[in-house]
Structure 1
Amino acid sequence: MGPERFEGPVKRSVTIAGHETSISLEPMFWEALERTAKELNVPVNALVARIDALRIEASSPPNLTSALRLWLFDRAANG
């Protein structure tokens, strides 16, 4: 990974259960989220909502941004 991959977070709006919220993720995480949504044939908003639902079920839920990063990392690590 070259130094050009070390980019700061980019804020984007997503809609979860009819409510718009802002999420700040580094570009590589946005790319991974978009790629995964495409692989699963769902819109990015739907994938974020799915991850959010899992997050809420956790005994000590992290914030949504952390949950997205953790979910993407786990998916990459465990296929």
Structure 2
Amino acid sequence: MNSPYHPPVKRSVEIAGHKTSISLEPLFWDMLRGVAEDEGVPINALVARIDAERIRAETPPGLAGAIRLWLAARALEG
């Protein structure tokens, strides 16, 4: 495994037909990719699901923060 201390990497994803850029550290991109593979869905679909959940939150964080929090919560559950 590479060092977890790496600056964020910006990538484009498509949510509901709209492209957006997300900056995440490589560790989080790897985690997101792993969950998408485990669930048999594209990363775009997983990000769209996380985005829908975050929008329903009482005080929604930004999308990148929501992805990090979602992945951390999932890791704590497992």
TM-score normalized with structure 1 length: 0.95
Instruction: Give the equivalent residue in structure 1 for 2:16.
Output: 17
Which structure shows the higher helix fraction? 1
Q: Percent identity?
A: 60
Distance 1:27 1:50 in 2: 20
- What RMSD, in angstroms, separates the aligned Cα atoms of the two structures? 1.3
Question: What is the aligned partner in structure 1 of residue 32 from structure 2?
Answer: 33
AA aligned to 1:11 is K
Deviation beyond 3 Å, 4+ runs, structure 1: none
Q: One-letter code of the match for 1:44?
A: I
The residue number in structure 1 matching 2:71 is 72
Post-superposition offset of 1:5: 2.1
Q: By how many angstroms is 1:32 displaced? A: 0.1
Whole-angstrom distance in 2 between the partners of 1:77 and 1:8: 24
**Equivalent residue for 2:54?**
55
Unaligned runs of 5+ in 1: none
Letter in 1 for 2:72: F
Distance 1:18 1:49 in 2: 10
Secondary structure of the structure 2 residue equivalent to 1:52: helix
Instruction: Tell me how far 1:30 sits from its aligned partner.
Output: 0.1
Q: Which runs of 5+ in 2 are unaligned?
A: none
1:6, CA displacement in angstroms? 0.4
Give the secondary structure class of the aligned counterpart of 2:7: coil
TM-score by length of 2: 0.96
